[in-house]
């Protein structure tokens, strides 16, 4: 999985762009994401928190980083473990 | 990740919101995204190796930037103020290019190089009309997004290149998506070929802060536009801020109550000027941003609260911070190193090194990064005990007198406290005895009597030390600056050699 790859959810309308990847299965709504996933399924229980546009998602060890470019009802996980959001450190609009 | 995704996301989230205002024309995110996709079609079809802009700021700059990104071709905005010979040389280095802007000049200077020139309006129209095929394969964004020729104040322009990943990591690390409220607008008056101009476009698009372009800066027009567009944010170079304040003092009237934040950078801010600005705009948040082309813009900044605290402080250490560029961003690493490459202790002047995802440090011809990925900025500076970064000129500007390194800044800062001195520059002059010695060009303040040379020498001797005393002093009507407010030290040396 190369940085820049765009993955779609099989469970909802979510789409992410891969910023960083070093292994494992990236899932949304509990189902593996893929470049050509149809998004017509529904999120599994426990993976239905939703994704937020423009948020970055990482695992605890920061081996994976995803940018949500289209929101949906499913939530993101890596090998079954939920990802968490990583906040930007906003500058006071410096440019 | 391709930088064009920043625009695609904004267009997806708020297609009808106004993204950009230029010459009274308003562009929505959806329109700009459509034009960028169309521009990518034109660029791909042309077979060009670069997309150049030879023009003032307009919507075309943004369309060309993101269109080039989608097409996987470096975007290369050129300095239209360059002399013909210099510009011709740069055009030769990027041929064949799609060139947007001054078609006649391209034909005159670079005919037969295979360039595809477009006047601005034709480019924009063609981009809007080019139907992007729905299955167009956009570039994955693993390559070069931007090629910028450095301003070359000390040598011939270098072609600095920024990867998509450099710029994207800068934006994602420092801007929260769609964070701006609908009323927010940022006034961009720096030229499009400057990294600050490009970073302003990218970060404003991602924050969804409306961009208001002022293609040719004049203080009266800047003030008028703030009023007309209810501008909330602005980026200026110090010279612009000085001219804005001067215009207000001369009685130019404008309702600029909407202005909440002013960021500045690109050149040295005189202490007196920022002090005036803080007094005149007591509710405005000032930010000093320090960065380079090679670092995708800002790497350190002094924030609004720090400005106010320093301005109000009686503690000289805190007060001095107004002359600093603040602290390094949390997303980058920064070190001060000596000539032997070792990290210097607090307070000692050395060369500033930076490392981080946003740092490119690459030129067309070579990489400037060391083995561990650190970029030597060629800027001299030091950190104070609390981690504030102070600049001390370009490393190349350091005057080496008999093996002793002298930073021009310390001499200049001292002399600028003299009531009769409006401006001054210290540069190296050849010395038989020392190799190099301090040469000083001085501009006398209007209405003041020219101070005696001996008085200035005594002032330096008393407050600094004898090695800093200028060997040559010359009084000049003005100092040479480029349009970004950067002092052209090469030319100052020329003034002193005469």
Predicted confidence at residue B377, as pLDDT, reads 94
Q: Is residue B346 part of a domain?
A: no
**Are B287 and A70 a contacting pair at CB < 8 A?**
no
Predicted confidence at residue B153, as pLDDT, reads 58
- pLDDT band of residue B435 (cuts 50, 70, 90) is confident
Q: Is residue B177 part of a domain?
A: yes
Predicted confidence at residue A93, as pLDDT, reads 62
Distance CA A7, CA A15 (A): 6
The encoded tokens of residue B377 equal: 């900025």
**The domain that contains B483 carries what CATH number?**
3.30.300.30
Q: Is residue B51 part of a domain?
A: yes
Concatenating the DSSP letter of every residue in B119-161 gives -HHHHHHHHHHSPPPTT-----S-SEEEEEE---SSSSPPEEE
Is the separation of the CB atoms in B295 and B334 below 8 Å? Answer: no
Facing B176 at nearest CB: one of A69, A70, A88: A88
Chain A residues within an 8 Å CB radius of B5 = 17, 69
The encoded tokens of residue A15 equal: 């789409």
- pLDDT band of residue B133 (cuts 50, 70, 90) is confident
Concatenating the DSSP letter of every residue in B264-332 gives E-SSPPPHHHHHHHHHH-TT-EEEEEEEEGGGTEEEEEE-HHHHHHHHH--SHHHHHGGGS--EE-TTS
Bridge partners for B375 per DSSP = B354
Average pLDDT over residues B143-149: 96
Share of chain B above pLDDT 70, in %: 99
Q: Do B295 and B408 share a domain, yes or no?
A: no
B481 closest CA partner among B397, B428, B425 = B425
Bridge partners for B75 per DSSP = B51, B146
Chain A residues within an 8 Å CB radius of B164 = 4
Residue of A nearest to B138 (CA): A4
Is the separation of the CB atoms in B457 and B470 below 8 Å? Answer: yes
Task: Convert the pLDDT of each residue in B38-54 to its tens digit.
Answer: 999 999 999 999 999 99
User: Cα-atom radius of gyration of chain A, to the nearest Å?
Assistant: 13
User: What are the distances in angstroms from CA B21 to CA B29, B56, B105, B229, B402?
Assistant: 11, 14, 27, 9, 55
Q: Is residue B377 part of a domain?
A: no
Last residue of a domain, one of B278, B307, B336: B307
Lowest mean pLDDT among B105-109, B364-368, B443-447, B484-488: B484-488
Residue of A nearest to B166 (CA): A19
Chain B residues within an 8 Å CB radius of A93 = 186, 203, 207, 209, 233, 261, 263, 287
CA dihedral B407, B412, B414, B416 (to 10 degrees): -170
Largest CA distance in chain A: 43
**The domain that contains B23 carries what CATH number?**
3.40.50.12780
Q: Do B403 and B286 share a domain, yes or no?
A: no
Res. B309: pLDDT tops 80: yes
**Contacts (Cβ under 8 Å, ≥6 apart) of B85:** none
Average pLDDT over residues A59-68: 95
What is the DSSP pairing of strand B261-264 with strand B285-292? Answer: parallel
Q: Do B164 and B51 share a domain, yes or no?
A: yes
Q: Is residue B53 part of a domain?
A: yes
Q: How many Å separate Cα B121 from the centre of its chain? A: 27
Q: Is residue B287 part of a domain?
A: yes
Predicted confidence at residue B152, as pLDDT, reads 62
CA distance A79 to chain B (A): 23
**Are B5 and A2 a contacting pair at CB < 8 A?**
no
The encoded tokens of residue B164 equal: 């998509």
- pLDDT band of residue A94 (cuts 50, 70, 90) is low
Res. B403: pLDDT tops 80: no
Distance CA B262, CA B285 (A): 6
Predicted confidence at residue B137, as pLDDT, reads 78
Task: Convert the pLDDT of each residue in B348-376 to its tens digit.
Answer: 989 999 999 999 999 998 999 999 999 99
Predicted confidence at residue A95, as pLDDT, reads 61
Distance CA A70, CA A75 (A): 12
Res. B136: pLDDT tops 90: no
- Number of structural domains in chain B: 2
**Are A95 and B1 a contacting pair at CB < 8 A?**
no
3-state SS, one letter per residue, for B58-95: CHHHHHHHHHHHHHCCCEEECCCCCCHHHHHHHHHHCC
Share of chain A above pLDDT 90, in %: 81
Q: Do B292 and B407 share a domain, yes or no?
A: no
User: What are the distances in angstroms from CA B198 to CA A33, B61, B191?
Assistant: 34, 9, 9
What does DSSP assign to residue B450? P
Q: Do B279 and B409 share a domain, yes or no?
A: no
Task: Convert the pLDDT of each residue in B210-225 to its tens digit.
Answer: 999 999 999 999 999 9
Q: Is residue B204 part of a domain?
A: yes
- pLDDT band of residue B70 (cuts 50, 70, 90) is very high
Last residue of a domain, one of B289, B307, B325: B307
The encoded tokens of residue B458 equal: 């005594």
Mean predicted lDDT score pLDDT of chain B = 93
Range of the domain at B410: 398-497
CA angle, corner B200, sides to B217 and A57, nearest 5?
A: 170
Distance CA B422, CA B490 (A): 20
Facing B301 at nearest CB: one of A2, A70, A91: A91
Handedness of CA B461, B465, B470, B471 (dihedral sign): positive
Peptide bond into B473 cis (omega under 30): no
Asked if the C-beta of A93 comes within 8 angstroms of chain B's C-beta atoms, the answer is: yes
Predicted confidence at residue B362, as pLDDT, reads 94
Facing B5 at nearest CB: one of A55, A56, A69: A69
Task: Convert the pLDDT of each residue in B462-495 to its tens digit.
Answer: 988 888 999 999 999 999 988 777 788 889 998 9
Q: Which strand (E) or helix (H) includes residue B494?
A: helix B489-497
Task: Convert the pLDDT of each residue in B149-190 to its tens digit.
Answer: 986 655 678 899 999 999 999 999 999 999 999 999 999 999
Average pLDDT over residues A46-75: 96
The residues spanned by each domain of chain A are: 6-86
Average pLDDT over residues B130-143: 81
Is the separation of the CB atoms in B160 and B363 below 8 Å? Answer: yes
Distance CA A83, CA A67 (A): 12
Predicted confidence at residue B244, as pLDDT, reads 96
Facing A95 at nearest CB: one of B176, B297, B329: B297
Q: Do B124 and B252 share a domain, yes or no?
A: yes
Q: Is residue B38 part of a domain?
A: yes
Predicted confidence at residue A54, as pLDDT, reads 95
Last residue of a domain, one of B307, B332, B366: B307
3-state SS, one letter per residue, for B190-206: CCCCCHHHHHHHHHHHH
CA distance B213 to chain A (A): 13
Task: Convert the pLDDT of each residue in B197-250 to its tens digit.
Answer: 999 999 999 999 999 999 999 999 999 999 999 999 999 998 899 999 999 999
Predicted confidence at residue B299, as pLDDT, reads 96
Chain B residues within an 8 Å CB radius of A69 = 5, 8-9, 12
Predicted confidence at residue A44, as pLDDT, reads 95
| Helix B29-46, helix B4-13: angle, nearest 10 | 150
Which residues 13-52 of A have a C-beta within 8 angstroms of B? 17, 19
The encoded tokens of residue B411 equal: 């001499």
């Amino acid at each position: 999985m190369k940085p820049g790859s765009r993955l779609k959810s099989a469970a909802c309308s979510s789409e992410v762009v891969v910023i960083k990847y070093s292994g494992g299965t990236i899932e949304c709504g509990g189902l593996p994401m893929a470049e050509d996933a149809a998004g017509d399924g529904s999120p599994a229980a426990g993976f239905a928190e939703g994704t937020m546009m423009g948020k970055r998602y990482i695992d605890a060890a920061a081996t994976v980083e995803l940018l949500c470019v289209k929101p949906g009802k499913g939530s993101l996980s890596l090998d079954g473990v939920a990802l968490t959001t990583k906040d930007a450190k906003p500058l006071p609009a410096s440019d | 990740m391709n930088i064009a995704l920043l625009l695609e996301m904004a267009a997806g989230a708020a297609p009808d919101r106004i993204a950009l205002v230029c010459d009274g024309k308003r562009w929505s995110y959806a329109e700009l995204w459509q034009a960028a996709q169309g521009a990518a079609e034109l660029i791909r079809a042309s077979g060009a190796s670069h997309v150049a802009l030879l023009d003032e700021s307009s919507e075309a700059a943004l369309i060309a930037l993101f269109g080039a990104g989608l097409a996987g071709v470096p975007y290369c905005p050129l300095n239209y103020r360059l002399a013909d010979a210099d510009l011709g040389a740069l055009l030769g280095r990027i041929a064949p290019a799609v060139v947007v802007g001054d078609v006649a000049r391209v034909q005159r200077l670079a005919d037969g190089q295979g360039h595809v020139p477009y006047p601005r309006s034709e480019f924009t129209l063609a981009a809007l009309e080019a139907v992007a095929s729905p299955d167009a394969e956009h570039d994955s964004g693993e390559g070069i997004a931007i090629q910028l020729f450095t301003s070359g104040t000390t040598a011939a322009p270098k072609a600095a290149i920024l990867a998509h990943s450099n710029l994207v990591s800068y934006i994602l690390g420092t801007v929260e998506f769609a964070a701006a409220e609908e009323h927010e607008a940022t006034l961009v008056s720096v030229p499009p070929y400057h990294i600050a101009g490009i970073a302003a476009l990218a970060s404003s698009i991602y924050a969804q802060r409306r961009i208001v372009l002022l293609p040719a800066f004049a203080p009266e027009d800047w003030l008028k536009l703030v009023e007309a567009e209810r501008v909330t944010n602005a980026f200026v170079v110090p010279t612009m801020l000085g001219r804005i304040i001067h215009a207000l003092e001369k009685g130019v009237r404008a309702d600029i109550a909407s202005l909440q934040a002013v960021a500045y950078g690109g050149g040295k801010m005189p202490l007196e000027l920022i002090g005036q600005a803080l007094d005149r705009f007591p509710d405005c948040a000032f930010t000093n941003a320090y960065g380079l082309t090679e670092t995708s813009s800002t790497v350190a900044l002094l924030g609004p609260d720090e400005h106010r605290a320093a301005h109000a402080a009686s503690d000289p250490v805190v007060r001095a911070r107004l002359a600093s560029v603040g602290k390094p961003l949390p997303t980058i690493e920064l070190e001060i190193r000596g000539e032997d490459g070792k990290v210097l202790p607090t307070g000692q002047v050395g060369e500033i090194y930076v490392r981080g995802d946003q740092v490119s440090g690459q030129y067309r011809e070579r990489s400037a990064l060391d083995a561990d990925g650190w970029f030597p900025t060629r800027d001299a500076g030091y950190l104070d005990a609390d981690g504030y970064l102070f600049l001390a000129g370009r490393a190349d500007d350091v005057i080496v007198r008999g093996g002793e390194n002298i930073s021009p800044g310390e001499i200049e800062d001292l002399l600028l406290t003299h009531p009769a001195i409006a401006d001054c520059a210290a540069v190296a002059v050849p010395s038989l005895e020392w190799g190099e010695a301090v040469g000083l060009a001085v501009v006398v303040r209007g209405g003041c009597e020219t101070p005696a040379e001996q008085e200035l020498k005594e002032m330096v001797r008393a407050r600094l030390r004898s090695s800093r005393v200028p060997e040559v002093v010359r009084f000049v009507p003005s100092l040479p600056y480029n349009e970004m407010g950067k002092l052209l030290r090469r030319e100052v040396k020329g003034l002193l050699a005469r």
